[in-house]
Structure 1
Amino acid sequence: MRVENIYRYPVKGLTAEALEEVTLTPGACLPHDRRFALAQGDAPFDPAAPTWLQKRHFGCLMVNERLALLHTAFDPKSGQLAIRPPEGPPMLGDTRTEAGRAEIAGFLAAYLGEEARGTPRFVEAPGHHFTDVAVKCVSIIGLSSLHALERAIGQRLDPLRFRANVYVSGSRPWSEFDWLGQEIQLGGARLKVFKRIIRCAATEVNPETAVRDAKPPQSLREHFGHADLGVYAEVIEGGRIAVGDALEPLEGELH
């Protein structure tokens, strides 16, 4: 199997950023992946004592599909986050300062309008990631599984609907489910697959148009008897991964 794409999502629910290569660290997500989030005003998130919360507490495509129309870019060196809305002037905010985070939160809250609950906060917490599961991990999708779904429904689905970190080709449909409890070699890193990814309403949103023009969870259940696409894997041995690298299940090396 071959790595075709690597993505990070610096702000939960916002733009994917393609990477040619990245270094994985044991027990961690991709660097800067889901580092920031827009916490709704009623979200009980405390940056000083961060704990995992369900996605409904944050701006997310499951509820706020209009977020797909925002184009964002994050510069880890400067801490600057650029946001370009579909209409009106863009903004550049400094994620490192309280004033900059407040400016970003105000911009996003104004854009969401009635979907913003209370006074949202643009938040981060060192070492914390706003992922959909409590374990720090990497999400992987076999493109053959996605293509099987596309054939079943007769519709092309942008892979970015599913917001995975790594997309691989060269496997048979659904073969990634066979890796559960097993180690895989991904480029120079070793990971252990621990969970299938159950898909939610976020995947209904077309990332180009922000229109809910498909129902992947429902279609998966109707055609395949489950609502899963992709797997989560925990990094147990760090290393560099790059587009073009191989992914190999390590059969016989179960732990």
Structure 2
Amino acid sequence: MRIEHVYRYPVKGLSAEALEEVHVDPGETFPHDRRFALAQGDAPFDTAAPAFLPKQNFACLMANARVALVRSAFDPRRGTLTLQAPGHAPLIAPTDTADGRAALGAWLAAFLGEEARGTPRFVEAPGHAFTDQRRKGVSLINLASLHALEAAIGRPLDPLRFRANIYFSGLPAWAEFDWVGKRIQCGGATLEVFKRTVRCPATQVDLQTGIRDADVPKLLREHFGHADLGVHAVVVEGGRIALGDAIEPLP
């Protein structure tokens, strides 16, 4: 089995950033993965005491399909985030100053328009990741499972609809579900798979148009009897993960 793609998503719900390699630490996400989010004005997120909240509290594809049109790029060395979208002037702003975060929040709120609730805030909390799971971790997609879904519905699907960190080949479709509760060697890191990934309405969205054009959870249930695609894992031993690395289940 071979790693074909590696991605991080610096801002929850916004675009992916392709990586050639990454170093992961035990119990953590990819560096800068889901580091930032746009909290809706009525979200009870406290940056001084960060805790897991369901994704509906933030701008996200599940609730806000149009955010697929926002192209974001994070520069960790400069600490800046670039935002672009059709019909909106691009913005480059620092993420580590109050003024910069205010500018980023205002830009994204203006983009959301009527979907913005109250006064949204662009937020970060050191040590916290805005993941969809209570446990920090890494998400993986078996490309053979995605191809099985594509064959069943008769159309291609952009793999990035599924917002995984690692996409790999070389395993039969759906065999990754047998990894739940087991450890895998992923490049130089050891991961422990703790659950299958249940797919939500975020995967309905065409990332190029921002329109819901395929009810992926329903299609999975119709053709395969479940709404799962991919698995989630925690990092138990840190190390380097890179394109072309092998993935192997451990005894």
TM-score over 0.5 for the pair: yes
One-letter amino acid of the counterpart of residue 32, structure 1:
H
Q: Percent identity?
A: 65
One-letter amino acid matched to 1:104? L
- Output aligned runs, 1:19-98, within 5 Å: 19-98=19-98
1:125 and 1:152 mapped to 2: Cα distance? 42
Pair 1:181 & 2:143 matched: no
Q: Which residue of 2 aligns with 1:161?
A: 161
Tell me, what secondary structure is at the counterpart of 2:113?
helix
**What count of residue pairs does the alignment treat as equivalent?**
251
Report how far residue 85 of structure 1 moved. 1.2
| 1:31 to partner: Cα distance | 0.2
Determine if the alignment matches structure 1 residue 209 to structure 2 residue 209: yes
Supply the distance in 2 between the matched residues of 1:226 and 1:179 (Cα, whole angstroms).
17
Deviation, 1:33, is: 0.2
Which residue identity does 1:166 align to in structure 2?
I
Shift of 1:89: 1.7
Partner of 2:121: 121
Match of 2:105 in 1: 105
Further displaced range: 212-221 or 85-94: 85-94
Tell me the TM-score normalized by structure 2: 0.99
Q: Distance in 2 between matches of 1:89 and 1:126?
A: 29
**Aligned-partner SS, 2:22:** strand
The residue that corresponds to 1:196 in the other structure is 196
Mapped to 2, the partners of 1:150 and 1:211 lie a distance apart of 19
Q: Mind listing any 5+ residue stretches in structure 1 that lack a counterpart? A: none
- d(CA) in 2 for partners of 1:100 and 1:165? 27
- Per-residue deviation, residues 95-141 of structure 1 (Å, max 9, x unmatched): 00011000100010011000000000000100100000010000000
Give the secondary structure class of the aligned counterpart of 1:90. strand
Residue matched to 1:226? 226
Q: What residue in structure 1 maps to residue 150 of structure 2?
A: 150
- What are the superposed Cα offsets for residues 132-168 of structure 1, whole Å, 9 maximum, x if unpaired? 0010000000000000000000010000000000000
Shift of 1:88: 3.1
Give 1:93 shift: 1.1
Q: Which runs of 5+ in 2 are unaligned?
A: none
Runs of 4+ in structure 1 over 4 Å off: none
Q: 2:9 corresponds to which residue?
A: 9
**SS where residue 89 of structure 1 aligns?**
strand
Per the alignment, residue 171 of structure 1 pairs with 171
| 1: CA distance, partners of 2:179 / 2:98 | 43
**One-letter code aligned to 1:204:** Q
Amino acid across the alignment from 2:93: G
Q: How big is the alpha-carbon RMSD for the aligned residues of Structure 1 and Structure 2?
A: 0.5
1:250 and 1:175 map into 2 onto residues whose CA distance is: 15
For 1:34, the aligned partner's letter is R
The offset of 1:81, in angstroms, is 0.4
Q: Distance in 2 between matches of 1:166 and 1:106?
A: 32
